[in-house]
Amino acid sequence: MIAVIVGADILFLRHRFWARLWVNVGVVAVFAAPQSLDTERRANLLADTS
């Protein structure tokens, strides 16, 4: 998956620094949001069982 993201990044946005930066920030945000929500949900479940 990382190879696909990096490959597309270099292929389509090679000479556009700011576009690459914002696209990469967006990709990280999209993949980090579910992880963050899942971590918060698990913390709430652990707090409820104590």
Which pLDDT score, from 0 to 100, does residue 22 have? 92
Task: Read off the pLDDT of each residue in 7-17 and give the average, rounded to a whole number.
Answer: 87
CA 32 centroid distance within chain: 4
What HEC string does the chain produce?
CHHHHHHHHHHHHCCCHHHHHHHHHHHHHHHHHHHHHHHHHHHHHHHHHC
Task: Read off the pLDDT of each residue in 1-15 and give the average, rounded to a whole number.
Answer: 83
CB-based burial, 13-32: b 16+ in 10 Å, e otherwise: beeeeeeeeebeeeeeeeee
Which pLDDT score, from 0 to 100, does residue 50 have? 56
pTM over 0.75: no
Residue 3 has pLDDT above 60, yes or no: yes
CA 24 centroid distance within chain: 8
